[in-house]
Amino acid sequence: MSGAFLLSLPVLADLTQPLGLLSTTALVFLFLFAWYLVWVVVQVARHRAIRFR
C-alpha cells in the first residue's frame, strides 16, 4: 500500500498544484489516516473472526 502511495504522490502533486489543494504535509496526514483506518478495520475483523470461532 505504501508503494502505491509513493508512486501516486508525484501524480497527485501535479494534478493539485494549480489548485493549491494538497501540500506534502496534508498528503502525509492523509496517508497516515488511511493506514490507521485500514489497521482498525483489520483488527475489528480479526476480533470478530476469533470470537465466532
- pLDDT number for residue 31: 80
Residues of the domain holding 29:
2-51
| Higher per-residue pLDDT: 18 or 37 | 37
Which amino acid, one-letter code, is at 37?
A: L
Q: What percent of the chain has pLDDT over 90?
A: 21
- C-alpha 51/C-alpha 19 separation (Å) is 48
Number of domains in the chain: 1
User: Nine-digit cell at 23?
Assistant: 501540500
- pLDDT number for residue 49: 87
